Amino acid sequence: MTSARTTPRSRTATRDKLFRAAVTLIAEKGFSSTTVEEIAERAGVAKGTVYYNFASKTELFEELLRYGVEQLTADLREAAEKTAGGGGGRVDALDAMIRAGLLFIDRFPAFTQLYVAELWRTNRAWNDTLLVVRQQAVAVVEDVLRAGVAEEELSEDIDVPLTAAALVGMVLVAALDWKAFQPERSLDDVHGALSLLLQGRVAGRGRSR
């Protein structure tokens, strides 16, 4: 019989603790200055637990970046699917994805700060992994845009890859600005502002019928 300590649910909970602890510490001190001991202490686990889950600090950070972006990707996909299931259009789905992105960033602001910073670095061991998982998140938005063009809800002139990247980037940068410089604003307020940008710049007018 598998002990509670080693069940998949228990290991997922431990990794979630390590994720939160590592991104918070690295955001505060930087990757090089953050030790495994500090991550373990902040997470409330033994140092050996860190190495049980990850072979090294570099692997830990790489996997945490992957974990975080995959969580964001899942949230975006769920928002789009829920909107479609409720009878909403593709622009409605994009709007729901913007809100899902803001909710994620509201929960994990330190992770978002690190993610954006790491995207601009080229000398990290995890750079290739980060680019791959980033594309997974953008691809979810691309799928909705392509469906909108195919269904004539969106203009066929839309550059789908660039527009998808721009929407993801808009949410990330706007949310970081919100957290750093306008924390008095509510999530609904920020979402409303981005929703207006979406309606004006992406929705626009579909194809002539």
pLDDT in tens, 35-92: 989 999 999 999 898 888 888 888 888 888 888 888 899 999 999 999 999 999 999 9
Distance CA 169, CA 2 (A): 43
Which residues belong to CATH 1.10.10.60 in the chain?
7-53
Q: Does domain 60-201 have CATH number 1.10.357.10?
A: yes
Neighbours of 132 (CB within 10 A): 11
Distance from C-alpha of 164 to C-alpha of 174, rounded to nearest angstrom: 15
Distance CA 18, CA 16 (A): 5
pLDDT tens profile 128-163: 888 888 899 999 999 999 999 999 999 999 999 999
For the domain 7-53, what is the CATH superfamily, name and number? Homeodomain-like (1.10.10.60)
pLDDT of 209: 41
Domain with CATH 1.10.357.10 in the chain: 60-201
Model pLDDT for residues 176-196, shown as the tens digit of each residue: 899 989 999 999 999 999 999
